[in-house]
Structure 1
Amino acid sequence: MHTPAPEIFKAYDIRGIVDKSLTVDTVRAIGQALGTEALARGQKAIVIGRDGRLSGPVFAEALAAGIIATGIDVIDIGCVATPITYFAAYHLGTHSCVSITGSHNPPDYNGLKMVLGGQTLYGDMIQSLRRNIVEGKLAVAVAPGTVTRTDVRPAYIKRILSDVKLARPMKIVLDSGNGVAGNTAPELYKRLGCELTELFSDVDGNFPNHHPDPSKPENLEDVIAALKAGDAEIGLAFDGDGDRLGVVTKDGEIIYPDRQLMLFAADVLSRVPGGQIIYDVKCTRNLAPWIRKHGGEPVMWNTGHALVKAKLKETGAPLAGEMSGHMFFKERWYGFDDGLYTGVRLLEILSKSPDANAVLKALPNATSTPELNIKMKEGEPVQLVERLSQLSFSGEVERITIDGLRVEFADGFGLARSSNTTPVVVLRFEADDAEALERIQAEFRSLISTAWPGIELPF
């Protein structure tokens, strides 16, 4: 019987440090638990894909061994972006897949993102895998399943190009950050009709150039420099496993995902009038009026890619997006988060204008902070947010408590929520101008200190 480290079983995925909290034996046991659950859900085969991390091949082997031990078949699609693994579950008709990925974590991390029968596993579904491993409730088949190998990248590219067309050729900077997107994105964008300035397309799990996380401005410096030095009109950057996108204008302005979502919402709503557009609690307050103006219904929801996917499925909404950079197109696509596809849809819209940057810079903007984190001990973030929720904020117009505490003021908002992945309180502030932003931050500073005396604040 195997006892895996409990801390690797996160809210939306499994993630740990290679050979410490996440071992080959643990991955094999998880494979067997997934196979057991797949049998219970009437599944017959599971697709396995992996990102470019150095531990990927050995983990893929262990995962496959665990799955086939239960009698479930495995289709190994090799080293591909996480969204291509999701695509393969549709394309190959398995409806179940696992992506072995450490996403944007440091090089010594790896993990698993899991889908069974079309449902992304999260929360208690992930915890039940752990319980079944600990309790030894694992299926063992008389005849093991089989492992077959195939490459779905040509089908993925073909599917996108059959639907998305550019109105004119475009020159772009493409930064894969040595992540797995580098083995597919350049070909996809060239065939779409783009002339590329490529940065770091070689897949290298050591990430020798910069960390593959486009949500952090410092990781977009190479894109900004390439745009300045060359004649490309826009820059795109992917995270380590290709499910998130960063966007930079010609003059070096970062267009954050909540503003990208405005552009996508206007486009999608032109074909799906009255559609719901889902966005998470960290997004700009400019989104809701923009969505209404374009004939849609705004739906604010919890942060977390698995939670957003579940809401997308429940509502039938054509589009959803998160401040972290996950975009979910259900209209013309499958509803999973895909940075490569998001970039393609962005260029489709921008190619209709002679000046792509003018379109992006015309999107409503506000004065805001990046995501700020208060580091605390395990369990404390939830307590702090609960205590904060008991207090009254001066000038408060509305409070939203679907995920943490978001307090709306006449001229801005402040957000405090407990992260589902690490023991931190996530903060974000936005306002009409710098003066209002400082006032809202001061109000939060005062009340957080009241709720948790002596706390060290990052703002």
Structure 2
Amino acid sequence: MRDLSGVFKAYDIRGVVGEQLDADLVRDIGAAFARQVTDAGGIVIGHDMRASSPGLASAFAEGATREGVDVVMIGLASTDMLYFASGHLNLPGAMFTASHNPAKYNGIKLCRAGAAPVGQDTGLTEIQREVEAETPPTEGGTAGRLETRDMLTEYVAYLRGLVDLSASRPLKVVVDAGNGMGGHTVPAMFDGLPIDVVPMYFELDGSFPNHEANPLDPKNIVDLQAKVREVDADAGLAFDGDADRCFVVDERGEPVPPSAVTALVAVRELKKDPGGAVIHNLITSKAVPEIVAEHGGKPVRTRVGHSFIKAEMAKTDAIFGGEHSAHYYFRDFWRADTGMLAALHVLAALGEQERPLSELTAEYSRYAASGEINSTVDDQAGRMAAVKETFASRDGVTIDELDGLTVELPSGGWFNIRPSNTEPLLRLNIEAVDEAAVAAIRDEVLAIVRA
């Protein structure tokens, strides 16, 4: 019996191609997924620019059609384009990508019809069990049909229908695609709009020759920051490898915190739907719930992670959700995440007024933040308990354990410390009134964690 525990993750399937993931395994995964969704009318499949992606996508399609399920192949796609196809066609989907991971990796993100997520608790565990048990193919049925369809034009039209940039003042925007799927989607998205795109690393190359396609790491946006300043651009955008996340820098080349983007987009969405709920995870700046409430919305706090965000969006019928990691979720986009739509909102907000982006976003950035600080520890639970014990005895301190340990301090600052699910790490995030207050909290907490 196979052991696939190293490949099946909480929300997707991911591994080193040729060692953990190959065509035979992917064919079996395609068959197992097809058996889960036999009555859905088919499966839509997309893939990123990695050298291994087309072959793996074809193997998955083989497995699915062998089970009698029809397949629509959309070819090169960003992850949010696959979600669009799943929603637009009302079909389950499979996206072949390892996002920002190095070239030797690949993976599969699965969803049900309407881009509903598939994770460990919503079908992924059952697929793993079937594949590990080497469940034989269904015998005697008619093979499913294979159709090829290009969805890029429809994807572009749908997003541009949600955010109108046609009346924007002219903007110069540097876009760093990181040799990922943004190089495929951005040219089509901005064609004909009053946006002068200055492209960086648009060549599709899954070996990522210029830098890792992970703009969450500051070293990977250095080139973008320099180019924004060099060409006197109004803004800069950086997409990750599968282009479902988008990071923003202002005209000075300074990063715009994802929490500020969340607040800005939330305000725009609330104008369309006054009183709506807006989801934010517990590491997002407290400016987000403050601003949402000030604009008549209902802020809803959740754990970190797209499955929690999407579940809470469905429960509350939320209009929008944002995470500190630059994932942005829209009710108008089947509650799925799309960095491209968030980017369109930011550029529309910038283009409908005359202030530079730094001034526009300053009103959404109220506090200083540490960013994520990781500590390697042998005893995650023990270190967490030590932090809790230290702070629980202090006057005016409140603690909750919705996701890790969140400690609210009487000064107005707060911090969250969470264990990694996959590594021996504790992740610390801090927010306070200014940088000095952040530093003081950081030093005290790290002294306990790293003792």
Q: What TM-score do the two structures reach when normalised by structure 2?
A: 0.93
Please say if 1:145 is aligned against 2:141. Answer: no
SS at match of 2:321: strand
**How far did residue 122 of structure 1 move?**
1.2
Match of 1:128 among 126, 129, 146: 126
Kindly report the root-mean-square deviation, in angstroms, between the aligned alpha carbons of the 2 structures. 2.0
* Aligned ranges 1:413-452 → 2 under 5 Å: 413-448=414-449
Q: Which amino acid aligns with 1:399?
A: I
Decide whether the 8 Å contact of 1:283 with 1:323 is kept in 2.
Answer: yes
* Aligned ranges 1:299-448 → 2 under 5 Å: 299-330=300-331, 332-357=332-357, 358-376=359-377, 381=380, 384-385=383-384, 388-389=387-388, 392-393=391-392, 394=394, 397-410=397-410, 411-448=412-449
Please say if 1:164 is aligned against 2:163. Answer: yes
SS at match of 1:265: helix
Match of 1:104 among 85, 91, 100: 100
Label 1:397 to 1:271 Cα distance change in 2 as closer, same or farther (>3 A): farther
**How far did residue 334 of structure 1 move?**
2.8
Structure 1 unpaired stretches of 5+: 455-459
Match of 1:72 in 2: 69
Distance in 2 of aligned mates of 1:390 and 1:133: 45
Distance in 2 of aligned mates of 1:56 and 1:87: 19
Q: Which amino acid aligns with 2:129?
A: R
Distance in 1 of aligned mates of 2:83 and 2:177: 19
The Cα offsets for residues 308-332 of structure 1, whole Å up to 9 and x where unpaired, read as 12221221100001111110121x4
Distance in 2 of aligned mates of 1:62 and 1:443: 52
SS at match of 2:333: coil
Decide whether the 8 Å contact of 2:47 with 2:57 is kept in 1.
Answer: yes
SS at match of 2:31: helix
SS at match of 1:127: helix
Distance in 2 of aligned mates of 1:85 and 1:60: 13
Moved more, 400-409 or 2-11: 2-11
Q: Which amino acid aligns with 1:83?
A: D
Distance in 1 of aligned mates of 2:435 and 2:400: 23
Structure 2 unpaired stretches of 5+: none
Please say if 1:82 is aligned against 2:97. Answer: no
* Aligned ranges 1:193-342 → 2 under 5 Å: 193-330=194-331, 332-342=332-342
Match of 1:28 in 2: 27
Decide whether the 8 Å contact of 1:414 with 1:444 is kept in 2.
Answer: no
The Cα offsets for residues 389-424 of structure 1, whole Å up to 9 and x where unpaired, read as 565444553223211111111331111112345443
Q: Which amino acid aligns with 1:19?
A: G
**How far did residue 83 of structure 1 move?**
0.5
Please say if 1:61 is aligned against 2:58. Answer: yes
Distance in 2 of aligned mates of 1:239 and 1:395: 43
Decide whether the 8 Å contact of 1:5 with 1:22 is kept in 2.
Answer: no
Distance in 1 of aligned mates of 2:151 and 2:397: 51
**How far did residue 112 of structure 1 move?**
0.9
Match of 1:457 in 2: none
Question: Identity percentage over the alignment?
Answer: 32
Q: Which amino acid aligns with 1:111?
A: G
Distance in 1 of aligned mates of 2:311 and 2:90: 20
Label 1:324 to 1:197 Cα distance change in 2 as closer, same or farther (>3 A): same
**How far did residue 117 of structure 1 move?**
3.2
Distance in 1 of aligned mates of 2:420 and 2:143: 40
SS at match of 1:75: strand
Label 1:20 to 1:250 Cα distance change in 2 as closer, same or farther (>3 A): same
Distance in 1 of aligned mates of 2:34 and 2:375: 38
Distance in 1 of aligned mates of 2:386 and 2:118: 30
SS at match of 1:10: coil
Decide whether the 8 Å contact of 2:391 with 2:397 is kept in 1.
Answer: no
Match of 1:17 in 2: 16
Distance in 1 of aligned mates of 2:95 and 2:219: 27
Q: Which amino acid aligns with 1:306?
A: S
SS at match of 2:101: coil
Moved more, 320-329 or 270-279: 270-279
SS at match of 1:52: coil
Label 1:356 to 1:336 Cα distance change in 2 as closer, same or farther (>3 A): farther
Label 1:93 to 1:375 Cα distance change in 2 as closer, same or farther (>3 A): same
SS at match of 2:111: strand
**How far did residue 258 of structure 1 move?**
0.9
Decide whether the 8 Å contact of 1:80 with 1:181 is kept in 2.
Answer: no
Match of 1:51 in 2: 48
Q: Runs in 1 of length 4+ with deviation above 6 angstroms? A: none
Decide whether the 8 Å contact of 1:277 with 1:319 is kept in 2.
Answer: yes
Q: Which amino acid aligns with 2:126?
A: S
**How far did residue 366 of structure 1 move?**
2.0
Moved more, 356-365 or 234-243: 356-365
SS at match of 1:3: coil
Distance in 1 of aligned mates of 2:102 and 2:133: 32
The Cα offsets for residues 83-102 of structure 1, whole Å up to 9 and x where unpaired, read as 101101122232x1011010
The Cα offsets for residues 246-294 of structure 1, whole Å up to 9 and x where unpaired, read as 1000111101211111101111112222211111121112222111111
